[in-house]
Amino acid sequence: MTVFAKIIDREIPADIVYEDDLCLAFRDIAPKAPTHVLVIPKKPIASLIDLTDEDEAIVGRCVLVASRVAAGLGLGSGYRLVVNCGPDGGQEVPHLHFHLLGGRSLGWPPG
């Protein structure tokens, strides 16, 4: 069971900013920007690599949730939504998650 599954099950506390039947959004414990929220599907999907056609709605929901959370957190001047995929892509937790980063100017290219 991943740390995110434990957060979903409330075995580990988190600063939750949004929840519905499909998704959960909570503040990252090691933020990389003034605002750093993780948006995760409640369904245990390990990575983008593991998506199937049946996951289309849940992934779309996560992106919509990220947009709404960003608006609610006052990120109207811009933000970044990042998905790390696999070890070489920087993914540390094997549960699909979207990093919502904002609150400062974000340079390009990243990393």
What is the model's pLDDT at position 108?
87
Mean pLDDT of 58-87: 96
Binned at pLDDT 50, 70 and 90, residue 40 comes out as: very high
> For residue 109, is pLDDT > 90?
no
What's this model's pTM, rounded to 2 decimal places? 0.94
Please name the CATH architecture into which domain 3-102 falls: 2-Layer Sandwich (3.30)
> For residue 62, is pLDDT > 90?
yes
Element (H, E) at 16: strand 16-19
> For residue 13, is pLDDT > 70?
yes
> For residue 111, is pLDDT > 70?
no
Q: Mapping DSSP to helix (H, G, I), strand (E, B) and coil, where does residue 48 land?
A: helix
> For residue 110, is pLDDT > 80?
no
Alpha carbons 85 and 89: distance in angstroms, whole number: 5
Instruction: Give alpha helix (H) positions in the chain.
Output: 3-8, 56-72
What is the model's pLDDT at position 24?
98
Q: Which residues are catalytic?
A: 97
Would you say how long the chain is, in residues? 111
